[in-house]
Amino acid sequence: MMKRLFAVFALLLCLAVAGGISAQDAQSALIVATQLDDVITLDPGRAFETTNLVVHHATYETLLEIRPDDLVTIQPLLATGYTVSEDGLTYTFTLNADARFASGSPVTSEDVRFSWTRLKNIKGNPSFYADAVAAIDTPDAQTVVVTLSAVTPAFATIVTAPAMSILEKAVVVANGGTDAADADATDLANDWLSQNSAGSGPFVLTGWTPETEITMVRNDNYWRAPAALPAVTLRNVNDATTALQLLERGDVDIYENVDKDLAEQISANADLTLEMGQTLNLTYLALSPDATTFTTPLSNRQVRQAIAQAVDYDGIIDGLLLGYADRPASPLPIGVQGSDPAQRYERDLDAARALLAEAGYADGFDLTLYIGTGAPGGIPAETLAAKIQADLAEIGITLEINQQPTSNFLTAFRAQELPFLFSTWTPDYLDATMWSDYFSFADGGLSKRIRMDIPEIAAIAQQAAAETDAAARTALYQQYQTAHVTEAVFVPLFQPQLLYALRSSVQGFSFHPVYFLEFYTLSKG
Amino acid sequence: MILQFFLRRLLFAIPMLFGISLVLFLLYNLVQVDPLVMIVGERAMDNPEIVAAAVQKWGLDRPVWEQYLTYAGNMLRGDFGSSFLTKRPVLEDLQLFLPATLELALSSLVFAIAIGIPLGVIAGVRVGGLIDRAAWGLSLLNASLPPFWTGLIFLTIFYYFLGIAPGPGRLDPRMAFPPRVTGLVTLDAALAGDWAAFANALHHLMLPTLILGGFTLALVLRVVRASMIEEMRREYVRTARSKGLPPRAVVVHALRNTLIPLVTLLGLAFAGLLSGAVMTETVFDWPGLGTYLVRAAANLDYPAIQGGTLLIALIYIVTNLIVDFLYGILDPRVRLA
């Protein structure tokens, strides 16, 4: 009996070893080692995480787009162009008559109306993209007339966001979708759209296995030149060292979000290429100016300015991020309209001590820094907090670090209970309002959470958001940055860069700060 | 008779499960966390319409006791609610993540039994011999090395340097998964007649089984060895020997009596393999129950924590039941009691 058991066991083992040799097919597909644990759904009307963006960019298309090589120019995609009415409230898009979905059907104005109305009525996390849309008219199959509820110069940029993708109405409806007013309860297309796509992009989604992989194949009906890659697989790999091993052995072609400690090793390997992507993400320090609820010295502007001049920014970027980061002056990241790094704070301990003395805190004071868990922007929260603690100690501020699980931290942050913290902000589209809407007003966004009520900043933000003249708008955002620098309520710590390691056979890499990778332009030699 | 015994034990499990769910619910409400943090995204938080829709959908505006009663009532109907994080029904999530764990646990158990029992017997019969000492060292090593460390080392040696083991995951990145039927990739591949995928999935089981099964193997080996030593000293063994029974038959006699402690151990070990393989799962990118539950706990995803904990409690209850049942088969005296 034991012998037989052994024989079976040995046979299975042989079979298992042999299995390693057979899997040599599908060599031409592109495999990306990444982390898929954030994916909840792949329905463009519901998804609001990170990984879904790269998938949606590959499988769907928007009316307009912003290319990775030019982040300021809005270019045509499904629409050949658009016009804006005199009062700024009506946008008229003309669709490209050649545009086809993967099914072969033409992209029509009704598909646009359906997609955006559905997005809005699902009342999901990405529904805010359609907030500005009051009505959509479709006078003919090629024309879409959008009426906005308020003047929103950012609208053309918002249209480029993956959440504003156009879905093929017939396919979505056939699989349970609806754009009805009660779509939040009656739309049943989520399951289908998480395993399939209904778009016009260069790839078609063929499956998603949670925490395992997302598979896409080339759309052979693509209405422009078809993609070079026959298939793309995003593969979940948790450990950084293992991801590099998979890449070095050629089991994967791209390793996304490379651990910065491995950068040197990758650069030294002739089979691999290291690529860098400058994100528009922000890791910031928030210092509440509120004096009615909070009783910290932070309500004194000079104290906030002193802290902004006490932080050792270069030490953080060079020491903790190995130099792979930039740093803007205000919440507007470098690359955004009106942002100019020249105005940023530099470390000046004498000036910081002088400001503290002037404010009446020559001997310093005690303060609590609230943080969550994880690694905001690439540095473990506790490491970054310890660095800030050491920096502030030099001007006499004794920092206590209060670390909680991120969900507890976010609960307290949203409940307006935290006067001093650091956190991150990532953009969903590239207009400056992506930042100014959230860092300015007493009644909304991150500014509300830390009880910031500074009418000057709010007024500029409001004016800039509604300014339709590009030059005047840039000038307003410059003013906005200056006001922020003076107030030192949100002090940027760094704007991280993402690293990608590629097999040298992979060509055509580009990086986009919203959707990251573009598979359409990639090829494998 | 047996059926009655089973049913009675299963009925006892129901109040136990409700007790566990109540304790979890109370604990969760002690932690001051707003579930909206998980449910509503950062941007959408500013839109009162979206927040109101979420509050209503998830019943967060209702009093705490009403929330629990609703939950308990739904539980009776087999509805465990939806995860805050994945937004999918918890039962669906568990069906998604349990098979990966089950596959690895079964393969680890088979490995531990197939290697552990013979080694334990030899070590117990020839105490102090070469195999005994080697087995002792092996089990000590296995019990003391953390699996996330051995996992990374094994991957580096057997995958990266030697290339005789595959990388992490359940299948090669360039290989297509067989259509999902059971969720056990080996079984699904066999059902689909995809033998390349079957062999590949088996190959991928090799390293994590060595690591996870190695720990159980060490336990099995020690228990079998200890009980063998004890049994070999008993009078019936002496009698058997003196009446001239061949040594092999004597060992088989003794082995039968070591099975009771072994079955107890295997029952607990199997339940442990199902619920506690988080480290191995993480290193090998194995999307199992441990991974799911750790993420649920880290995000205070209440319905997922509840559902997962109840499932694990159920696994322990059922395993204990089976162990008790096996006692009866292995030892007639238990049946009489």
Give the residue carrying structure tokens 């206590």: A400
Whether the Cβ atoms of residue B269 and residue B277 lie closer than 8 Å to each other: no
d(CA A165, CA A170): 15
Is residue B337 over pLDDT 80? no
Q: For residue A75, what are the β-bridge partners?
A: A65
Whether the Cβ atoms of residue A487 and residue A458 lie closer than 8 Å to each other: no
Q: For residue A287, what are the β-bridge partners?
A: A420
d(CA A144, CA A121): 19
Distance from CA of B50 to the nearest CA of A (A): 5
d(CA A143, CA A137): 8
Mean per-residue pLDDT for B266-275? 86
- Comparing CA positions, the residue from A74, A55, A253 lying closest to residue A158 is A74
Nearest residue in B to A126, CA atom: B44
* pLDDT mean by block of 10 residues, chain A; 525 residues: 52 48 62 92 93 96 94 94 95 97 98 98 91 95 96 94 97 97 94 97 96 95 96 94 95 94 94 95 96 94 97 96 96 94 96 96 96 88 96 97 88 92 92 95 94 97 92 96 97 96 96 94 92
Q: Could you say which of A19, A237, A251 has the minimum Cβ distance to residue B200?
A: A19
| The pair of three-digit structure tokens given for residue B150, joined into one six-digit string | 């051995």
**CB atoms closer than 10 angstroms to residue A397:** 23
Is residue B184 over pLDDT 70? yes
Contacts of B280 in chain A (CB under 8 A): none
Distance from CA of A418 to the nearest CA of B (A): 15
CB contact under 8 A, A242 and B167: yes
For an interface test with A, the pick among B30, B49, B152, B203 (most A C-beta atoms closer than 10 Å) comes out as B203
Average pLDDT along chain B: 86
Q: Beta strands A365-371 and A397-403: pairing type?
A: parallel
* Highest mean pLDDT of the ranges A468-482, B74-88, B279-293: A468-482
Which of the pair, B16 or B107, is modelled with greater confidence?
Answer: B107
Query: Which residues numbered 354-383 in A keep a CB inside 8 Å of some CB on B?
Result: 373
Q: Any CB–CB contact under 8 A between A186 and chain B?
A: no
Query: Which residues numbered 205-224 in A keep a CB inside 8 Å of some CB on B?
Result: 207, 209-213, 215
Distance from CA of A420 to the nearest CA of B (A): 19
d(CA B303, CA B296): 9
User: Helix, strand or coil for residue A312?
Assistant: coil
d(CA A471, CA A484): 20
DSSP B161: I
Whether the Cβ atoms of residue A435 and residue A425 lie closer than 8 Å to each other: yes
Enter the ipTM.
Answer: 0.85
CB contact under 8 A, B166 and A12: no
Mean per-residue pLDDT for B256-273? 87
- Comparing CA positions, the residue from B157, B137, B159 lying closest to residue B218 is B137
Distance from CA of A171 to the nearest CA of B (A): 23
Contacts of B60 in chain A (CB under 8 A): none
Contacts of A428 in chain B (CB under 8 A): 43
CB contact under 8 A, A23 and B172: yes
DSSP A317: I
Nearest residue in A to B154, CA atom: A242
Give the residue carrying structure tokens 């055509």: A508
- Comparing CA positions, the residue from A40, A85, A494 lying closest to residue A280 is A494
The pLDDT value recorded for residue B45 is 76
> What percent of chain B has pLDDT above 70?
98
3-state secondary structure A121-172: HCCCHHHHHHCCEEEEEEEECCEEEEEECCCCCCHHHHCCCHHHCCCCHHHH
Whether the Cβ atoms of residue A42 and residue A53 lie closer than 8 Å to each other: no
Ordered alpha helix ranges (H), chain B: 2-30, 36-39, 48-57, 64-76, 90-125, 130-144, 147-154, 185-192, 195-232, 235-242, 247-275, 278-283, 289-298, 302-330, 332-336
Residues 6+ apart with CB under 8 A from B63: none
Pick the range with the lowest mean pLDDT from A448-452, A494-498, B151-155, B258-262.
B258-262
pLDDT class for B331, splitting at 50, 70, 90? confident
What spatial distance separates the first Cα and last Cα of chain B, rounded to whole Å? 13
Distances (CA, A) of B222 to A87, B71, B124, B147: 83, 44, 9, 19
The pLDDT value recorded for residue B214 is 87
Distances (CA, A) of A153 to A84, A158, A269, A435, B277: 9, 9, 47, 14, 53
Burial of B118 (0-12, 13-18, 19+ CB in 10 A): middle
d(CA A133, CA A148): 5
The pLDDT value recorded for residue B85 is 85
CB contact under 8 A, A251 and B173: yes
Q: For residue A284, what are the β-bridge partners?
A: A423, A492
What spatial distance separates the first Cα and last Cα of chain A, rounded to whole Å? 54
Query: Which residues numbered 91-120 in A keep a CB inside 8 Å of some CB on B?
Result: none
Q: Any CB–CB contact under 8 A between A444 and chain B?
A: yes
Which of the pair, B154 or B65, is modelled with greater confidence?
Answer: B154
**CB atoms closer than 10 angstroms to residue B14:** 10
pLDDT class for B1, splitting at 50, 70, 90? low
Whether the Cβ atoms of residue A94 and residue A81 lie closer than 8 Å to each other: yes
Q: Annotate A271-289 with DSSP letters as a single string.
A: TEEEEEEE---EEEEEE--
Pick the range with the lowest mean pLDDT from B28-32, B216-220, B267-271.
B28-32
Q: Beta strands A254-256 and A30-34: pairing type?
A: parallel
Q: Could you say which of A37, A40, A128 has the minimum Cβ distance to residue B47?
A: A128
Q: What are phi and psi for residue A316, nearest 5 degrees?
A: -65, -50
CB contact under 8 A, B168 and A124: no
Distance from CA of B32 to the nearest CA of A (A): 7
User: Helix, strand or coil for residue A20?
Assistant: helix
Q: How many CA atoms lie within 13 A of A290 on its CB side?
A: 18
Q: Which helix H or strand E contains A34, and what residues bound it?
A: strand A30-34
